[in-house]
Amino acid sequence: MGKMRGAIVVDTERCKGCEVCIVNCPTDTIGMAEEVNGKGYHYAYMKHPENCTGCANCAIVCPDGVITVYRVKTEK
């Protein structure tokens, strides 16, 4: 059976660093960056990109809609 691999792209300037995506990520993919954006918020990024399955949970709970999700089925 193929394994799902995913990736997210965060619109870092719009992210408000609320961390709701982190608790909704079932695979511990997302973390908060040490750096801050133009508004002074720490923004979400893929801390463990290899874990992401592209389930889109983070994106649908994001209040500011800053996360875009991609998913691909691998053969392995």
Partner 1 sequence: MDIKEIIQPENLVHKRTPLMTDATLSYCPGCGHGTAHHLVMEVIEEMGIQQDTIGIAPVGCSVLAYDFMDIDMSQAAHGRAPAVATGIKRLWPEKYVFTYQGDGDLAAIGTAETIHACNRGENIVIIFINNGIYGMTGGQMAPTTLEGMKSSTTPYGRDAKQMGHPLKITELVAQLPGTYYVTRQAVHKAGNVRKTRKAIMKAFEVQRDKKGLAFVEIVSNCNSGWKMTPNESNEWMEEHMFPFYPLGDIKVEGKIVKDLLKELM
DSSP state of 74: E
Size of the site for partner 1 (CB under 8 A): 37
| Residues of this chain, 8-67, that bind partner 1 according to CB under 8 A | 9, 11, 14, 16-20, 22-24, 41, 46, 49, 54-67
Least distance to partner 1, CB of residue 11, Å? 8
Q: Mind giving me the DSSP string for 4-66? A: EEEEEEE-TTT-----HHHHH-TT--EEEEEEE-TTS-EEEEESSGGG-----HHHHH-TT--
Residues near partner 1 (CB under 8 A): 5-7, 9, 11, 14, 16-20, 22-24, 41, 46, 49, 54-72, 74
